[in-house]
Chain A
Amino acid sequence: MSTASDQLNDASSDTAPTVGLFVTCLVDLMRPSVGFASVKLLEAAGCVVEVPTTQTCCGQPAFNSGDTKTTADIAKQVIAAFESFDYVVAPSGSCAGMLKAHYIELFDENDPWHGRATAFAARVHELISFLTDVRGMTDVGARFDGTATYHDSCSGLRELGVKTQPRKLLSSVGGLTVTEMTDCEVCCGFGGTFSVKYPDVSNAIVEKKTANISASEADLLLAGDLGCLFNMAGKLKREGRTIAVRHVAEVLAGQLDEPAIGEGQDMS
């Protein structure tokens, strides 16, 4: 695979589609390496990537707390910042689902924003399914020696139909075997604010998940949503388990220099 900066120059032809990367707040704040992995994959898929600086968050914390007014304000901000791109791509099924499925619900049909939200929704994609379904990517040319198990995050799976796409791309990673855990489609118990509002219940759910993860005997847990990954990694660490946890884009982009989620920096 060529380097990211070569790609940038190769891709800047007239036919290369422009992609506005919706970084998501968790990637921006907590794990920028997922953002860089996304850029690398998108450029490898022949896109010109831009990152509007006026983005913050997709608005889910407000939306799921019932604060419709704030959510609509944020939605307008996101739509305005991104509607000029050919595509809007997010490395998260949950945020992409919010942009694609729920922004429209915020405006009633006579509101001009309803039309804008509808046109915007048509351009929004979750990263991995965008690579395979829109850009026809089949081989990422990466390598990882080991066994991984993949958790299907709820919104990606049920709102956007992300299921086979990550597995397809993972099968092109040299040295990697994917082994399915039991109940890979069952929620990990994160649920955004749910995890802090109902910590006991959330914990009971993630305990079942980590038991299934461990039983899969994989070396690496992957998923497409950082919220779920933080929840599962946090629990696995607390239980003293050694399995590494990463966003699927990191493996697909071959960007594994940063420590896995919840792992310490090598201080030596």
Chain B
Amino acid sequence: MKPNSHNFKLNARHALDDKQLQRALAKVPGGFVSKRADARAALPEFDALRDKARDIKNHTLEHLDLYLEEFERKVTEAGGIVHWASDAAEARAIILDICVMVDARVVTKGKSMISEEIALNDHLEAADLKVVETDLGEYIIQLRGETPSHIIAPAVHLNKDQVEEDFRRVHTNLSPDRQLQEPEQLVGEAREMLREQFIATDVGITGANFLIAETGTSVIVTNEGNGDLTQNLAKTHIVIASIEKAVPTLEDAAAILRVLARSATGQEFSTYTTFSTGPRRPGDPDGPEAYHVVLLDNGRAELLGTEFKEVLRCIRCGACMNHCPVYHSVGGHAYGWVYPGPIGSVLTPSLIGVDEAGPLPNASTFCGRCEDVCPMRIPLPKLMRRWRAREFDKGNPPAKQRFALKAWAFAARRPWLYRMGAGLAMPLMAWRGRSAGRFSSLPFVDGWTAHRDFPAPQGRTFQQKWRAEKRKRSRVSQGRGKS
């Protein structure tokens, strides 16, 4: 997908003006936030588990090459094939080649953010393949020609009446009196449509939440069971996953799974947790005939060992955006690329460059709620700040902003100048704002006063008044001394 992150400010403005979107976004905080809080409260060792999850992933990333090689060895032993893709173009080509090799016409897909990252659907469709998203949310946005606005709830920006409209538009055989007002009715309708596709499919593509090195197993967690059908009913199963999904052992995966669903949806476990190791073996009742894993780097290896390496611990649970006041206000599309919210603000500049994604690390109040809820304890605000520092060192912030900062910094490092300037300016400003107690417009902070009043200062500065107070106090104590 073509990035549009440099336009964040404008995207945000449009998002704020979009009434449908605002109606949908209003529902985001309620559900996710309280469900996670309940799940956390019900598990006293939750925070200890977060530490453990962090440590597992840190260890894995320290030795990522070894674990990936072990994973490849185990997949091969199980009869599968591992493909290494250094970038999006390579990954797309590998997947298309496999599809062509097996003469595929229909491809079903489970939910995968990596497939969004490499813009897989467009590539396959350009080669005349029919691509069907089978996750309900993904299915809906595919009908609409949109991209996901959330990493675990791709259609969270939509309301159910919009979905009903889309279904009636696309499912042309629907009778007009078929009820589609309730979510269950919509799910039922999608299920009927998708069932036919599952049967017709040639290749099933899924993502992976974990790649387990000791067994060569890929793991997906879903709530709809569509992932299982995708990978079991097709003759060929392709897993597309980025390299940081590796974990050493089954036990490690189990440990991280304990914080994943709780952080994401507040469930103890997702409805389905599916482990896939190689293709169908003789005697297996089902499973694909061929099993491929495409391991995507796309800039991640370069992050190892850098000041941004911690972002590679991310397990894409979505908690950071579920708790982000900026995300709640503008939704996911405003971020202009695949990953929205706080994780997007750190990951997007890392993957597609800060020239494109420069506004994202700035689009945070640093309220710290993301770091507070991140199951992998990724210090998201700190990493955003590091991007700001890089940008600052390159001289990138706008001239007006740099100038204001410089002037302020000059005074802040010279206390006498600062005191003098403040001592003159504040009483003046106070005098002007005294009767109203506030300003309804002020130069330099016109962005602020477009929406809010600016409270007036009280008058003389604290430092000025404190000096006077101290003189008074010493007179009092001297007076007492004499008496």
Contacts and interface: CB of A to CB of B under 8 A. Distances in A.
A23 B388 contact: no
A53 B437 contact: no
- Name, among B385, B409, B456, B477, the residue most crowded by chain A CB atoms within 10 Å (CB to CB): B409
A262 B449 CA distance: 13
Contact of B462 (A27, A191, A204): A27
A189 B365 contact: yes
21 contacts: A5-B472, A28-B462, A31-B457, A51-B462, A65-B401, A155-B366, A155-B368, A187-B325, A194-B362, A194-B363, A198-B9, A202-B451, A206-B452, A230-B455, A231-B452, A233-B455, A234-B438, A234-B452, A262-B438, A264-B437, A265-B437
Contacts of A172: none
A70 B406 CA distance: 9
A29 interface: yes
Interface of B is mostly: helix
A159 B382 CA distance: 13
Nearest to B444: A196
Interface in B383-412: 385, 387-393, 397, 401, 405, 408-409, 411-412
Interface stretch (B95-103, B280-288, B413-421): B413-421
Interface stretch (A54-62, A122-130, A139-147, A213-221): A54-62
B455 A73 contact: no
B476 interface: yes
Contacts of A155: 366, 368
A126 B330 CA distance: 33
A55 B10 CA distance: 39
Given A200-B451, A202-B451, 7 more contacts: A77-B415, A158-B369, A187-B365, A187-B369, A195-B448, A199-B451, A200-B12
Interface of A: 5, 8-9, 23, 27-33, 35-36, 51, 53-57, 59, 61-68, 70, 73-74, 77, 105, 154-155, 158-159, 183, 185-187, 189-206, 208, 230-231, 233-235, 237-238, 258-259, 261-265, 267
B405 A56 contact: no
A191 B361 CA distance: 13
Contact of B405 (A61, A186, A208): A61
Contacts of A194: 362-366
A93 B411 CA distance: 23
Size category of the binding interface on chain B: 35 or more
B437 A190 contact: no
Contacts of A204: 16, 329-330
Contacts of B456: 262
B458 A67 contact: no
B324 to A, nearest CB: 9
Contacts of A231: 452
B385 A235 contact: no
Contacts of A199: 447-448, 450-451
Contacts of B405: 61-62, 65, 67, 70
B463 A28 contact: yes
B391 to A, nearest CB: 6
Interface string B347-374: 0000000000000001111111101100
B465 A36 contact: yes
B460 interface: yes
Given A51-B466, A196-B448, A262 B411 contact: no
A64 B12 contact: no
B335 to A, nearest CB: 12
A199 B389 CA distance: 22
A205 B458 contact: no
A205 B434 contact: no
